[in-house]
């Protein structure tokens, strides 16, 4: 069973946006997907509470604040949203369960430094040996110098870049209704779905 963990020690990089839409991608493919939230802010769980009953089902994964538990039977795909600064034994528990790790980051010097430190620490963690790790650029504006720096940074890491997601209000408006890009007519979010193709392909391998 694939367990996709979304992690970055820095807050506000778009982890919940990535997690909820990835769960939406799996649900749209007909999988029995469960969205877990190890973040004390419980953003993903709050989002699930907004999700309309007629939307494709995404189950809530009830998780103990101090312990990561195995998902219930019947689940075929898991997406796990994590808090900023996740470290220590809780992080090790997450890594033991994960099959793939996606690291979102934005085009700022703070994100770049935090992500570099996180990846360096990850490389030293024994439970990460089996993991496939991919990067996703979040809220990317291709016209900026910051975007150029982001590309230079990720190119230097030697890790697969799964995609760059543009800065658009589509994510904001859909999240407010408990929806994802995969829950609305494709013509309304055509540009964004195109950016997700490579991400969905990578997690589906």
The answer to whether domain 3-204 has CATH 3.40.50.300 is yes
Each residue of 93-127: pLDDT tens digit? 778 888 999 999 988 888 888 888 888 888 887 76
Each residue of 29-81: pLDDT tens digit? 999 999 987 766 667 778 998 999 999 999 887 665 555 556 677 889 999 98
98 backbone dihedrals φ, ψ, rounded to 5° = -70, 145
Q: For 97-125, what is the HEC assignment? A: HCCEEEEEECCCHHHHHHHHHHHHHHHCC
Other residues' Cβ atoms within 10 Å of the Cβ of residue 152: 10
**What are the CA-CA distances from residue 74 to residues 55, 69, 105 (Å)?**
19, 15, 32
What does pTM read for this prediction? 0.90
Each residue of 48-58: pLDDT tens digit? 989 999 999 99
129 backbone dihedrals φ, ψ, rounded to 5° = -60, -35
* Domain parsing of the chain, residue ranges: 3-204
| Paired tokens of 144 | 């900026």
Q: Which residue has the higher pLDDT, 32 or 141?
A: 32
Each residue of 160-196: pLDDT tens digit? 999 999 999 999 999 999 999 999 999 999 999 999 9
Residue 9: predicted pLDDT: 82
Listed residue (11, 3, 12) closest to 78, CA to CA: 3
Q: How confident is the model at residue 23 (pLDDT cuts 50, 70, 90)?
A: very high
Length of the chain: 205
């Amino acid at each position: 069973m694939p367990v996709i963990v979304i992690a970055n020690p820095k807050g506000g990089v778009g982890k919940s946006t990535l997690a909820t839409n990835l769960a939406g991608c799996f649900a749209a493919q007909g999988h029995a997907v469960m969205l877990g939230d190890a973040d004390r802010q419980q953003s993903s769980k709050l989002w699930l509470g907004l999700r309309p009953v007629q939307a494709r089902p995404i189950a809530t994964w009830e998780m103990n604040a101090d312990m990561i538990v195995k998902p219930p039977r019947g689940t075929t795909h898991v997406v796990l949203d994590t808090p900023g600064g996740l470290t220590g034994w809780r992080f090790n528990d997450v890594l033991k369960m994960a099959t793939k790790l996606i690291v979102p980051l934005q085009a700022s010097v703070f994100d770049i430094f935090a992500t570099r430190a996180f990846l360096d620490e990850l490389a030293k963690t024994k439970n990460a040996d089996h993991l496939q790790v991919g990067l996703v650029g979040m809220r990317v504006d291709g016209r900026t110098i910051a975007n150029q720096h982001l590309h230079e940074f990720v190119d230097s890491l030697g890790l697969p870049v799964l995609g760059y997601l543009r800065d658009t209000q589509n994510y904001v408006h859909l999240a407010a209704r408990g929806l994802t890009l995969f829950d609305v007519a494709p013509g309304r979010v055509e540009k964004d779905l195109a950016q997700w193709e490579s991400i969905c392909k990578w997690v589906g391998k």
